[in-house]
């Protein structure tokens, strides 16, 4: 579940999503950031994310569900 103060960077890939986001902005549910507010992700971090994704694409049996993660952390 997302936290209310969590910042997400999204790429809009469907035309209808623009109107949904506009409606959310009108309702005060989202805040659009200026380009200078966006944090640049270092290349090493992008590379590491891709490496991990590639690994789990090839080894999906090593993934565990979010419910299992919570159980292991005793987080309810």
pLDDT at 75: 65
Using an 8 Å Cβ cutoff, are 21 and 12 in contact?
yes
The model's pTM is 0.43
- 3-state SS assignment for residue 45: helix
35-59 confidence digits (pLDDT tens): 676 677 889 999 999 999 999 999 9
**Residue 32 DSSP class:** P
Mean pLDDT, residues 24-35 taken together: 83
- 3-state SS assignment for residue 66: helix
Domain residues of the chain, as ranges? 15-73
């Amino acid at each position: 579940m997302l936290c209310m103060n969590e910042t997400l960077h999204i790429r809009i890939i469907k035309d209808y999503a623009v109107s949904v986001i506009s409606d959310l902005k009108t309702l005060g549910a989202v805040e659009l950031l200026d380009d200078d507010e966006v944090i640049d992700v270092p290349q090493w971090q992008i590379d590491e994310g891709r490496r991990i994704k590639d690994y789990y694409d090839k080894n999906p049996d090593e993934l565990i569900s979010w419910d299992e993660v919570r159980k292991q952390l005793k987080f309810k």
